[in-house]
């Protein structure tokens, strides 16, 4: 009698989560347990200011599967001083910190003045060059400014892997320019939205540069739209990505895991 192989559980890395946010305060342990049980092998929890970066490190120290990125989000750039960047520099010494960020420019919401956003991004890029860590970049309606700054920075430091453009939602040309600079592109649950242009862009990205992320608690996949996102749902994004690329979910899980481990060296 021939036995059919049992369906293997996927092993996936969520490269961008905000586990420190208050959305997870009441059921944090259950959220992490659920993710691990579903096959999420690693989660990168990403700081957005000094306090949340410290919290990200704290969470990373409790679970072997959790790693931390530390940095200042462009939304939080107002009133940031160089001394705050020095505190981020101190945090880099924690062995679970594998990246700097989330940093970048957001000219859509403009929660912080543009000048402050630019200054805080530049400070963090200088730090990343000093400590040789990849960066996690947030670009919302600011691609031309972000690309101008990153192009100069990349030339200066010649990194093997400069980092990740998180939640990529730009067009093919924008993707191409980031890829030329050596960046990886991370895609989340929004690729399953009916009006998303991401599928067409994804097909043009070399598969060794693709990453998956949740950006939870934000941007849940279509099946959970309107609800809180959480790392477990990364599995759905891997399945969607497989559909777009004409590959099995397992192949996508393996490829994106390999890519994430190459970028973050974890």
DSSP 190: G
Q: How far is the CB of 16 from Zn ion (least distance, A)?
A: 6
What does each C-alpha distance from 214 to 123, 188, 233 come to in angstroms?
Answer: 27, 5, 7
CA distance 104 to 136: 8
- Closer Cβ to Zn ion, 20 or 84, answer by number: 20
Output the CA torsion 172→75→13→162 (10° steps).
60
Q: How far is the CB of 18 from Zn ion (least distance, A)?
A: 6
What is the pattern of x (binds Zn ion, CB under 5 A) and - over residues 21-50? ------------------------------
Residues within window 66-125 making contact with Zn ion, judged by CB under 5 A: 102
Q: How far is the CB of 208 from Zn ion (least distance, A)?
A: 23
Q: Which of 120, 100, 215 is nearest to 163 (CA)?
A: 100
Neighbours of 94 (CB within 10 A): 18
CB 241 within 8 A of CB 112: no
- Closer Cβ to Zn ion, 49 or 84, answer by number: 49
Options 28-36, 173-181, 214-222, 243-251: segment touching Zn ion (CB under 5 A): 214-222
- Closer Cβ to Zn ion, 135 or 249, answer by number: 135
Report residue 191: phi and psi, to 5°. Answer: -70, -15
- Closer Cβ to Zn ion, 213 or 249, answer by number: 213
Residues within window 179-208 making contact with Zn ion, judged by CB under 5 A: none
Q: How far is the CB of 178 from Zn ion (least distance, A)?
A: 17
Options 79-87, 151-159, 209-217, 253-261: segment touching Zn ion (CB under 5 A): 209-217
CA distance 36 to 44: 13
CB 77 within 8 A of CB 108: no
Size of site (CB under 5 A) for Zn ion: 2
- Closer Cβ to Zn ion, 120 or 249, answer by number: 120
CB 193 within 8 A of CB 145: no
Binding footprint of Zn ion on the chain (CB under 5 A) = 102, 215
């Amino acid at each position: 009698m021939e036995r059919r192989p049992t369906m293997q559980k996927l092993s996936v890395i969520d490269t961008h989560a905000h586990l420190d946010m208050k959305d997870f305060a009441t059921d944090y342990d259950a959220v992490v347990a659920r993710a691990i049980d579903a096959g999420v092998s690693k989660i990168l929890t990403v700081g957005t200011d000094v306090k949340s970066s410290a919290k990200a490190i704290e969470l990373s120290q409790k679970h072997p599967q959790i790693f931390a990125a530390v940095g200042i989000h462009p939304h939080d750039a107002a009133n940031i001083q160089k001394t705050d960047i020095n505190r981020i520099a101190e945090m880099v010494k924690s062995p679970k910190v594998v990246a700097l960020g989330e940093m970048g420019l957001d000219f859509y919401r403009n929660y912080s003045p543009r000048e402050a956003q630019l200054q805080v991004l530049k400070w963090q890029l200088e730090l990343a060059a000093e400590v040789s860590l990849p960066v996690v970049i947030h670009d919302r309606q600011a691609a031309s400014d972000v690309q101008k700054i990153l192009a100069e920075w990349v030339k200066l430091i010649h990194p093997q892997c400069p980092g990740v453009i998180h939640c990529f939602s730009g067009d093919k040309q924008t993707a191409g320019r980031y890829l030329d600079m050596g960046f990886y592109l991370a895609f989340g649950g929004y690729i399953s939205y009916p009006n998303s242009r991401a599928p067409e862009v994804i097909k043009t990205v070399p598969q060794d540069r693709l990453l998956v992320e949740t950006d939870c608690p934000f941007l849940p996949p279509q099946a959970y739209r309107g609800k809180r996102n959480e790392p477990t749902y990364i599995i759905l994004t891997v399945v969607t990505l497989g559909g777009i690329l004409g590959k099995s979910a397992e192949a996508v899980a393996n490829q994106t895991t390999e890519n994430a481990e190459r970028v973050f060296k974890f």
